[in-house]
Amino acid sequence: MTRSLRIAMGVAAAVAAVAACLGIGVRSSYGGHAAVDEPQYLLTALSLWEDRSLDISDELADRRWRAYFDAELPVQTEVLNGGRQVSPHDPLLPLLLAVPMGLGGMVAAKITLGLLAGASAALTVWVAVRRLAVPPWLAGAGVAAAFASSPLAIYGQQAYPEMPAALAVLLAVAAGTGPLRRSALVVVAAAIVALPWLSVKYLPVAAAIAGLVLWRLHKQARSRTALTLAVVLAVAGLVYLGLHRLLWGGWTVYASGDHFVSTGEFSVVGVSPDYLGRSVRLLGLLVDRGYGLVAWQPAWLLAVAGVAALARRRPPGALLLLLPAGVGWAMATWVALTMRGFWSPGRQVVVILPLVLLAVLWWLAHVAGPRLRLLSAGLGAAGVITYLTLLIDGWAGQLTWVTGFQGVDNPLYALMRRVLPDYSTAGLGFWLGHGAWILLTATIAVAAWRQARPTSPASVPPQPGERTLTYA
């Protein structure tokens, strides 16, 4: 590892951890510093520390949430046989937070998440440089800007599984795009198994990664290794299902949720989902004026160019970025119950945002010219400033992470609201705005696609440090 790479990783990690931890001082909602689903994760972590159990009935009875949530805690758990109450959330995040929660409470738990954000940022830099031949200075600066702005900075301290899941995906990609030695396959397998234990909604992303790695082993004529990995993952899946039946009483954690008693655990995606209507989220996740990525970090608009260029040029390992990112975006589009929930913007796509960021960094390094790099720097800086204004208003008690954030005192965001469509409406104005943004993003994608066209094999020389991989 070169000195420049170590510096870039260290800077990105420090910026990400500090940016995340600064957000701990902002209340999650007006009810407390941890709100919505966060208390459920924290109570389970506390129960694992004190009782070595997922049963939080005694923590609920003792109102242990009052240390970080002032209001009455909304009911989420259904009382099971024997009076048990098991939170309808997968347990790997509480397991990760059990020790810091037991020793230092909510603040220590959130600092731990901030450190995981730092680790995710450092690993993103490493993958960009070692796997995609992005210059260290560009990788460090780009990753630092992304992790010091919404949504990565916010979910770097929110007690949700989003950031640990993003780290698991990065670990799988880092190992899966290198030589598939035994140690690399162990990392890939561990990351894939971890994802559904963080949340069942990450299972399709995990399956996409598994499928690509197995396919690569098959193309290398390593059928026995591929079969071994497949058996390991299959056994892990059976263990997952068996433990959920035993502990939660269903195939998923939602079986223990009071919301799903009458409608069933799979109604978490909706009782009668309107998949055609949800299709507008395909763009809305990016450009909605309240819950879209671009509203809070304009540089995410470059994702359109990065993904299009990466898909056209397809450097080694590109599929292991593009396919899981596409699956994750599809899950947020068509499977998630809502885009505009009681949470900070971008929650549903945090798990795959580092992959999208890697596509953007590759595009900036190998396709975009100096002017586009300068534009990207300006957009990234604007997003960092927007996050700083959220912090300032949040510290002053004028907003929280899940309520009031659209009232942030930021002229840039006020301007963005004027040009971005509101996906909570369905009038003529919305459809005109939606159509205009379809045209704009399509234009960006086509321009990047054409820009990335290689004129001849010799026009795209191997980049220093780039691994020779193929999924063809």
Does residue 470 form part of some domain?
A: no
User: What is the per-residue pLDDT across 43-83, written as a single tens digit (0 to 9) for each?
Assistant: 999 999 999 999 999 999 999 989 999 888 888 888 888 88
User: What is the per-residue pLDDT across 173-183, written as a single tens digit (0 to 9) for each?
Assistant: 999 999 999 99
Task: State the pLDDT confidence band at 464, using cuts at 50, 70 and 90.
Answer: very low
Does residue 104 form part of some domain?
A: yes
User: What is the per-residue pLDDT across 280-298, written as a single tens digit (0 to 9) for each?
Assistant: 999 999 999 999 999 999 9
Looking at the chain, the whole-number percentage of residues with pLDDT higher than 90 is 84
**Residue 198 pLDDT:** 97
How far apart CA 355 and CA 324 sit, in angstroms, is 8
Q: What is the DSSP string of 144-198?
A: HHHHTSTTTTTTTTSSSSHHHHHHHHHHHHHHHTS---HHHHHHHHHHHHHHHHH
How far apart CA 407 and CA 393 sit, in angstroms, is 9
Domain total for the chain?
A: 1
**Residue 470 pLDDT:** 42
3 state DSSP class of 299: helix
Does residue 434 form part of some domain?
A: yes
Does residue 460 form part of some domain?
A: no
Mean pLDDT within 404-408: 93
The pLDDT of residue 458 is above 60:
no
Does residue 22 form part of some domain?
A: yes
Its pTM stands at: 0.94
Does residue 57 form part of some domain?
A: yes
Structural domain including 13 reads 3-454
The pLDDT of residue 444 is above 70:
yes
End-to-end CA distance of the chain: 29
Does residue 472 form part of some domain?
A: no
